[in-house]
């Protein structure tokens, strides 16, 4: 029941963030301040306040994630280390500039890690974290933008 609750809270949080960033004035202002701060300042958006609000939202989401994962892992100062590596692997696999790709990347990392732990001999629970690290290196070598990411091209 705890894992089903974690999935439910995560889905609700993802839907809430999508609606916030897509349909509210503050969410659109945050997106504008993050993508082109100079232009956002020219239209009257306080970019420093938007950045502070973004950090506050990130802290709140991190606190929710910590509360959800604390009953599963042993409570200690480094308890989120493995979760952060899996999250980074998901973001790199899906694409660092694609929120939808990061969600799909998370599912793919979980599926790949469990399949490798099941079907590759010698890979148990101890070697699941190096699989995520190898996945990060492989994706960065083969397709640095990720599966759903677009390479950023800047003209000089």
Separation between Cα atoms, residue 129 and residue 3, nearest integer Å: 20
Of the candidates 105, 70, 69, 94, the one whose C-alpha atom is nearest the C-alpha of residue 146 is 94
Our separate counts of H helices and E strands in the chain read 7, 0
pLDDT (tens, 9 = 90+) of the chain, 156 residues, equals 888 999 999 999 999 999 999 999 999 999 999 989 999 999 999 999 999 999 999 999 989 988 888 888 777 777 778 888 888 999 999 988 888 888 899 999 999 888 887 887 776 667 778 888 888 999 989 988 888 877 777 787
Q: Which residues of 12-32 are buried (b: 16+ CB within 10 A; e: fewer)?
A: eeeeeeeeebeeeeebebbeb
Separation between Cα atoms, residue 122 and residue 110, nearest integer Å: 18
pTM of the model: 0.64
């Amino acid at each position: 029941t705890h894992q089903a609750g974690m999935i439910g809270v995560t889905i609700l949080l993802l839907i809430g963030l999508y609606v916030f960033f897509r349909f509210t004035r503050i969410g659109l202002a945050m997106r504008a301040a993050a993508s082109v701060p100079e232009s956002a300042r020219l239209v009257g958006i306080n970019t420093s306040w938007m950045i502070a609000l973004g950090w506050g939202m990130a802290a709140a989401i991190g606190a929710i994630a910590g509360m959800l994962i604390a009953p599963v892992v042993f409570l200690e100062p480094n308890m989120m280390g493995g979760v952060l590596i899996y999250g980074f692997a998901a973001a790199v696999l899906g694409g660092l500039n694609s929120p939808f790709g990061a969600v799909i990347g998370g599912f793919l990392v979980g599926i790949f890690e469990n399949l490798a732990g099941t079907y590759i001999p010698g890979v148990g629970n101890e070697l699941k974290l190096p699989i995520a690290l190898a996945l990060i290196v492989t994706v960065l070598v083969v397709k640095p933008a990720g599966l759903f990411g677009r390479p950023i091209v800047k003209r000089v």
